[in-house]
A = this chain, B = another copy of it.
Amino acid sequence: MNADPAVSSFPSSLDGLLNPRTVAVIGASDDPLRIGGRPLAYMRSQGFTGALYPVNPNRASVQGLAAFPSIAALPETPDVAIVAVSAHLAPQAVADLGARGTRAAIVFSAGFAEMGDEGVLLERQLVSAARRGGVRLLGPNSLGVLNPRIGFYGSFTSVVEMGFPAAGRVAIASQSGAYGSHILGIARRNGIGISACVMTGNECDITLGDVIQSFVDDDATDVIAVYSEGIRDGAGLLCALDAARQARKPVVMMKVGTSTLGSAAAQSHTASIAGNDAVTDAVLADHGVVRATSTEHMLDVARLATRRIFPVNNALGVITVSGGAGVIVSDAADKVGLPMPAMPHAAQQRLKALIPFASPRNPVDCTAQFMNDLTVAGQFTRAVVEDGNYPSILGFFTYTVGADSIAEGLRVQLKAVRDAHPDRLLVLSILASPERVAQYEADGFPVFEDPARAVRAIDAMGRFGAAFARVPGRPAPRVPPLLLPARTPSEVEAKALLSTIGVAVVPEHLCTTPAAAVDAAQSLSFPVVMKIVSPDILHKSEMGGVLLGVSSADAVREGFALLMERASSAAPDARIDGVLVARQVSDGVECILGIQNDPVFGPVAMFGLGGIFVEVMQDVVLKKCPFGEDVAEQMIRSIRGAPLLLGARGKPPVDVRALAVMLSRLSVFAHQAGPRLRAVDLNPVFAMPEGQGAYAADAVIDVDGHVGGEDAADGLAGRAAAQPAPRS
């Protein structure tokens, strides 16, 4: 994750940060409302289990605790130190902490990279002090760390004024202190217990990925909720997400905004079609993350995930007391794509025999009849669980359980089913008093008032289950390593390069004279396509550099002259390599294959249908490189327009296998090519009928000719510069 040798002496675990036994507060204040006073006040009121050491050169005691004049004067080495001094004093404080042997510091102080150039300089000094002293650093501009299990409040967030969080199994990582606190407040109101909350601030050292990794390592954490405004360290994040998946710890993430388009990526066709947020979406989904669209959504998913039931092949059975209510659930399930297969026929008949006007299909509606005989609710629920055999079951009893006359009896019926099937996800959607809800929760039923929110959360559990169970795709194919040319190659050079990694191109010849062009056209058979070839002309069609359907020797001669004329008037200084004469393919389906080098996640491959429609419909699929052919084939089959490839309206299916081979090889090439590869566009690629292959008719390989940036040697700062500073 952090390959810089200068930081190799840092402790790899952040345990001291999350579970300290001794805490020093540098710049401790006697005023419990000041930044340097709040953590002390909070920890004292919440019974922090460890030792507290205020450091303040001007006072003998702070908030009733013995204070120390300096870091050096501390009676023991604190596991973690909170730095609450002015920004300009912070680097020295961190240096002193390093000298005292402290391995983790939380820097509250603001006035660093978030404040412009001067602050950037100060932040570099802070990082440098931390490195030299071997201190892992959270912040600066961080709202800190909360661990309610041990009463550790290394934070000055005022959200706790409305109540301190309860201890529990959900860990929260937030880049924003303000929004992290907001989440804490909502979590508390929703009865969600917290194992830890870390707010990363400027991330000059400890990143979101580091924090997630520490939650993966933390035995007290079952579920990880993440709020991100801009990912700094894509590789580190993905590493941590992989670890979470292997540890079967679900990650639900709210990633707001769209990540910055690197200037290089923005120029590529692929990036302009897909947009960068689509890359984030695809990469996170691929790593098993459920991306939340709101705080409610995130906490709904987190709360349900604490039950630790993650169906692999999720399907929903619904038991309800109102047909209409059932339709609401069906609508919601349809919206998220959660299947609701019908009950087995025999079970349906049995339920019909019990209550003739019941709807036994799924949703199973036992009708208001259950109010007269509560065992009906039990029998029907048991049938849905046992006969229907659904991994997930939603009981939608609306307000009926609110009435005391019904609630207690129904509870007994439902609990019996719950206890007999501890492996099932049994969720209730009810409207009842907080006390009743708490009772059902204690019985093992997660409760959601709104059925649509219940369905969305249930669907997320299946996504986690599928991610945890996913068998890795076959390994990516071996592709001969290529040295990228020093600058963007011409179309002909690009195709030659791609040929060496097994990407098939449309038969064509580069011609430098009209006569050679005529010979080439005759050998390929008419009609042909003619294109200008120049390393200085990237987008040929915009300047009229492509002629289609050239169908005679005379037309080839005229076309040659026309292309030369257009090139010299559009780009007088361009070097012209000649004219490409290519076979005109007409019976294939046009596709587009591309690579964009995402500034956060590195090379990402794209597949979509080509032509004018892909731009309008944005029907593309994305995946981080590299990947094998089976994965590529899954990608191709997943686009909405896949029927056009698989034989719609009686047309023959295309050679999907050949497309998959091309896409997979392209992904390996991009992965091996390194950061100088900005983008690849194969557009169009003609997918021929099955067994006849797929051919790229045009290819652009966009290479960064500028080797090594100014910041190339400065790992930490360079990483931080990849995205704008977070605003919190």
Contacts and interface: CB of A to CB of B under 8 A. Distances in A.
Interface of A: 33, 114-115, 158-159, 161-162, 175-176, 178-179, 181-182, 185-186, 189, 227, 229, 256-257, 293-296, 321-328, 330-332, 335, 357, 359, 365, 368, 398-400, 402-405, 431-433, 449-450, 452-453, 612-613, 615-617, 619, 640-641, 643-644, 648-649, 726-728
Given A257-B330, A296-B450, A357 B115 contact: yes
A252 to B, nearest CB: 16
A359 B727 contact: yes
A398 B182 contact: yes
Between A293, A323, A641, the greatest number of chain B beta carbons within 10 A of the residue's beta carbon is seen for: A323
Nearest to A452: B294
Given A178-B321, A178-B325, A296-B452, 20 more contacts: A115-B357, A158-B399, A159-B402, A161-B404, A162-B399, A162-B402, A162-B403, A176-B323, A176-B325, A178-B322, A179-B328, A181-B399, A227-B324, A229-B327, A256-B328, A324-B726, A612-B644, A612-B649, A613-B617, A615-B648
Nearest to A648: B612
Nearest to A162: B402
Contacts of A357: 114-115
A616 B335 CA distance: 18
A33 to B, nearest CB: 7
A256 to B, nearest CB: 4
6 contacts: A186-B449, A229-B327, A294-B328, A294-B332, A323-B728, A617-B641
B178 A368 contact: yes
B640 A324 contact: no
A324 B399 contact: no
Contact of A185 (B176, B431, B615): B431
Between A159, A296, A727, the greatest number of chain B beta carbons within 10 A of the residue's beta carbon is seen for: A727
Contacts of A727: 322-324, 326, 359, 365
B115 A162 contact: no
Classify the interface of chain A: helix, strand, loop or mixed: helix
A641 to B, nearest CB: 5
B431 A186 contact: yes
A159 B399 contact: yes
A687 to B, nearest CB: 15
A616 B185 CA distance: 44
A158 B400 contact: yes
A615 to B, nearest CB: 8
Between A114, A178, A728, the greatest number of chain B beta carbons within 10 A of the residue's beta carbon is seen for: A178
A674 B328 CA distance: 34
By Cβ-Cβ distance, the 6 closest A-B pairs, closest first, are: A323-B727, A178-B322, A176-B324, A294-B452, A257-B327, A182-B398
Given A433-B162, A617-B640, A185 B612 contact: no
A577 to B, nearest CB: 25
Contact of A402 (B161, B293, B648): B161
A182 B399 contact: yes
B176 A402 contact: no
Contacts of A368: 178
A431 B162 contact: yes
A394 B481 CA distance: 54
A324 B450 contact: no
A293 to B, nearest CB: 7
Given A619-B617, A648-B616, A398 B181 contact: yes
Nearest to A111: B357
Contacts of A365: 727
Given A33-B405, A365-B727, A399-B162, A431 B321 contact: no
A321 B158 CA distance: 14
Contacts of A257: 327, 330-331
A335 B648 CA distance: 32
